Structure 1
Amino acid sequence: MAAAPMVVPRMKLGSQGLEVSAQGLGCMGMTAYYGPPKPEPDMIALIHHAVATGVTLLDTADSYGPHTNELLLGKALLQEDGLREKVELATKFGVTSAYGKPDFRGEPAYVRAACEGSLKRLGVDCIDLYYQHRIDTRVPIEVTVGELKKLVEEGKIKYVGLSEASASTIRRAHAVHPITAVQLEWSLWSRDVEEDIIPTCRELGIGIVAYSPLGRGFFSSGAKLIDSLSEQDVRKNMPRFQPENLDKNVQVFERVNEMARRKGCTPSQLALAWVHHQGNDVCPIPGTTKIANFNQNIRALSVKLTPDDISELESYAAADNVQGDRHFHIAYTWKNSETPPLSSWKDE
C-alpha cells in the first residue's frame, strides 16, 4: 500500500509577515559547486514536483553558476502557469570573484545592480526574500541595508535577509530595516551558531533558515558520499571530508545511522528532523537533484523526536567528536563579518 502523501505545513518566517513552507528547497547543486550542472529538464521537473508537494520556498543566488541557477528557476516558473504565485523566491547578492578568490560587495550601486540582474534572470518583478550572501567588511552594514530598504520601498523586494552574519552585524542591520531571516549553516554537526546568533535572531524576531542541514549530504550516506563525488564537486576539498578527519566523522554517521534504524527512518531523515525540532522559527532548505531524495527529505517532517532522542543525537555529534572546520572558506563566514562604523563611510 502506498504511503499517504506528506502534507507540508506552512510557517511564519520572521515577524514581518512572510509565510513559507516549513521546509524549503536549496537549488544550488542543480547547476553549481556540487559537480557538473544537472540536466535542465530533470531539474525543472524536480522544482515543479517540489511545489506540487507543498515545498514553496525556493532558494538560489546570483553566484550559483554564476547566474545559471537563477536562470533555471526563471525557466521553471515560466513553464507552468500560475507557479510564480505559489512560491516564495529567495535569492542572494554580494559574492563575486576577484583574482580567483571570493570577494564580497555591499556598496549601494552594486546592491541595486545585482537586484536588477536577479529580477531579469528570474523573470519576475519582485523578489520575495533578498539576502546579502556574505558580508562586505569594507562597507558599513547600515549602508548596504539602507539600499535594500530603498529596494523594498520601490517594490523590487519584499523582505530583507542576511547570510553568515555575526550577531552584532545582525543587530546593526535590523536597526536600519527589519531583517526577516538569517540564513546560516546549521546541522547536527555544525552548531557554532547556537551560542550567539540563534539567540540574537530570536530576540529580534528574525526567522532562521538552515542551509546544509544534512551536513552537505554526509548524513545521507556517510563515507560513501565521498566516493560518489565528481572531481568538480567542492566537497572534495572540504575539511571534514579529508582522510585525516573522515575516519572519526564516519563514527558520528554510524551512530546516527544506528539510531535511525531504531526509529524506523533513514539517517538523513533523522538529521533533518533534528533541525526541525530546534523550533518553529527554523526552516531547513536541504538541496537535492533527485525526486526520490526530495521525497525522502519531505518525510523527515513526520519523524518525531523526544527530548531524550535529541540529547542522544547531540551527544553523538558533540564538537569534540567532529573533526575539521565546516567550510574550507571558514574565514569568510560570520566569524569575520564585522563592518566599519557608519561614520567612516564616504559615499563616492
Structure 2
Amino acid sequence: MKYINLGDLEVSRIGLGAMGMSHGLTGAGTDDAESIRTVHRALELGVTLIDTAEIYGPYINEELLGQALKGRRDQVVLATKFGMIAHSGAGPWNLDSSPANIRTAVEGSLKRLGTDHIDLYYQHRVDPDTPIEETVGAVAELVAEGKVRHIGLSEAGPDTIRRAHAVHPITAVQSEYSLWTRGLEERVLPVLRELGIGLVPFSPLGHGFLTGTVRDEADFEEGDFRRGNPRFTGENFQRNLRLADEVQAIAAEAGATPAQVALAWLLAQGDDIAPIPGTKRVSRVAENTAADRLRLTPEVLARLSSLPPAVGDTHTEAGMRMLER
C-alpha cells in the first residue's frame, strides 16, 4: 500500500468506508463478526484511513468500529462526522452544526469509538443555519484541546471551503466522486488544489453499481437507500447498466475486476485523492486494496474518462438539498 498526504495528514492511498457494515445497505448489521474481520484485514493490508459517522445507525457503526479497533487504535487514521443529528431534540437527519451541538456530538463519538481523539472530524453536511465560520471555530477549539487532530468538510461547495479554510486549515473534503459522479471536477477540485486540501471520494464504486454485481432493483432489501435513489430505479437503472457493462468490458481486457478498474481510474486523477470504498466483506477489502497496484494505460484512462455520465440524481430530492457542489 502506498501513502499520500491529505493536507499534512498521511493516509493510505485507499481507505475503508465502514457505513455499509451497519447502515443503509442490504445486509447491513447482519454479520458484525465478518465486519470486524474486514477491518482487521484492511489494517493487515496497509489501510490506515477508516471512515464512519455518528448518523450511521445512528451510532451503531461507531460502536462497531470501537470494538474492531480495540488494541489497534494507533494503526488507524480514524475519521468520523457530525452535524446530521440535532442533539437538542430534533434528532437524526436534522442538520445542526452549531457549536453547542458539536460539543455534544464529539463527546458521544469519542466514547463510542473508544478513543481520546478523532484524527479527522468532518462536518457531514453544510448547515445553512450556522455560519461556517462558527462551525469551524468550534472544531478548532477541539483541535486546541487535543480531541480532534484535523478538520474536514463533506459535500461543501467552493465558497464554503474558502471561508472555512480562512478560519482554520481544512485537511480534506469528502465528496461523492467516481466514474459516474464527476460534478466536482469543474468547481470544487480546482479550489482544493489551490488551497492544498485533499479529496476523499466516498462511494467510489457508485454504491456498488460499478462493480457489475448490481443487476436488478429487486436485489435491494427494505431499508436499502438505493431503493429510492433515482439512479437505481426504473429507466435510469436500465440505462446505467450500460455504463457498468462498459467498465466490466474494460476490466476484462485489463485482467482486473471492475471495482479495481474504477478505483485505479480515481487514483490516476491525482496524488491528493484517497478514496474510501465501503465493504463489510474480507474478500472485497482485499480486492479493493489491490487496485493500488493496477496501472491503466493512457488509452484505457481516456476510454474510461469518456464514458457517458450516469442518468439520474445521486440522491433523493431531500438529499440533494443538503449538497453543495
Change (3 A) 1:287 1:223: closer
Give the match for residue 92 of structure 1: 81
Give the match for residue 233 of structure 1: 224
Structure 1 residue matching 2:210: 3-state secondary structure:
helix
Give the match for residue 153 of structure 1: 144
Change (3 A) 1:227 1:297: farther
Give the match for residue 113 of structure 1: 104
Q: CA offset at residue 283 of structure 1? A: 0.1
Give the match for residue 126 of structure 1: 117
Alignment match of 1:76 (pick from 50, 68, 71): 68
Distance of 1:237 and 1:287 partners within structure 2: 20
Asked whether the 8 Å contact 1:218–1:225 carries over to 2, the reply is no
Distance of 1:281 and 1:246 partners within structure 2: 32
Asked whether the 8 Å contact 1:44–1:76 carries over to 2, the reply is yes
Distance of 1:25 and 1:66 partners within structure 2: 19
Give the match for residue 3 of structure 1: none
Q: How does 1:215-294 map to 2 (within 5 A)?
A: 215-224=206-215, 226-294=217-285
Alignment match of 1:58 (pick from 50, 68, 87): 50
Deviates more, 1:284-293 or 1:28-37: 28-37
Structure 1: gaps (5+ residues): 1-7, 336-348
Distance of 2:171 and 2:91 partners within structure 1: 32
Instruction: Name the aligned partner's letter for residue 56 of structure 2.
Output: Y
Distance of 1:10 and 1:45 partners within structure 2: 23
Give the match for residue 311 of structure 2: 323
Asked whether the 8 Å contact 1:166–1:197 carries over to 2, the reply is yes
Q: How does 1:40-59 map to 2 (within 5 A)?
A: 40-59=32-51
Identity of aligned residues (%): 47
Instruction: Name the aligned partner's letter for residue 288 of structure 1.
Output: T
Change (3 A) 1:94 1:283: same
Alignment match of 2:5 (pick from 12, 15, 30): 12
Structure 2 residue matching 1:305: 3-state secondary structure:
coil
Asked whether the 8 Å contact 1:59–1:90 carries over to 2, the reply is yes
Q: How does 1:189-228 map to 2 (within 5 A)?
A: 189-224=180-215, 226-228=217-219
Give the match for residue 179 of structure 2: 188
Distance of 1:121 and 1:249 partners within structure 2: 38
Instruction: Name the aligned partner's letter for residue 89 of structure 1.
Output: L
Structure 2 residue matching 1:182: 3-state secondary structure:
strand
TM-score by length of 2: 0.95
Distance of 1:200 and 1:306 partners within structure 2: 28
Distance of 1:276 and 1:218 partners within structure 2: 18
Asked whether the 8 Å contact 1:288–1:294 carries over to 2, the reply is yes
Distance of 1:127 and 1:100 partners within structure 2: 22
Give the match for residue 143 of structure 1: 134
Instruction: Name the aligned partner's letter for residue 293 of structure 2.
Output: S
Q: Indicate the structure (1 or 2) with the bigger Cα radius of gyration.
A: 1
Give the match for residue 323 of structure 2: 333
Q: How many residues align?
A: 320
* Aligned residues: CA RMSD: 1.5
Distance of 1:242 and 1:40 partners within structure 2: 29
Asked whether the 8 Å contact 2:84–2:92 carries over to 1, the reply is no
Distance of 1:274 and 1:122 partners within structure 2: 32
Change (3 A) 1:214 1:303: same
Cα deviations by residue, 1:115-168 (Å, 9 ceiling, x for unpaired):
111111111111000000001001110000000110000100000000010000
TM-score by length of 1: 0.89
Q: CA offset at residue 112 of structure 1? A: 1.2
Give the match for residue 59 of structure 2: 67
Distance of 2:45 and 2:297 partners within structure 1: 27
Give the match for residue 25 of structure 1: 16
Q: CA offset at residue 241 of structure 1? A: 0.6
Instruction: Name the aligned partner's letter for residue 94 of structure 1.
Output: G
Asked whether the 8 Å contact 2:248–2:258 carries over to 1, the reply is yes
Structure 2 residue matching 1:282: 3-state secondary structure:
coil
Give the match for residue 165 of structure 1: 156
Change (3 A) 1:242 1:181: same
Q: CA offset at residue 109 of structure 1? A: 0.6
Structure 2: gaps (5+ residues): none
Q: CA offset at residue 193 of structure 1? A: 0.4
Q: CA offset at residue 307 of structure 1? A: 2.4
Q: CA offset at residue 223 of structure 1? A: 4.0
Distance of 2:248 and 2:163 partners within structure 1: 41
Cα deviations by residue, 1:42-98 (Å, 9 ceiling, x for unpaired):
1111111111111111100000000001101111122xx3x1111110000001278
Structure 2 residue matching 1:334: 3-state secondary structure:
coil
Structure 2 residue matching 1:231: 3-state secondary structure:
coil
Asked whether the 8 Å contact 1:222–1:253 carries over to 2, the reply is no
Distance of 1:270 and 1:211 partners within structure 2: 16
Structure 1 segments of 4+ aligned residues over 4 angstroms from their partners: 97-101
Instruction: Name the aligned partner's letter for residue 110 of structure 2.
Output: L
Distance of 2:171 and 2:150 partners within structure 1: 6
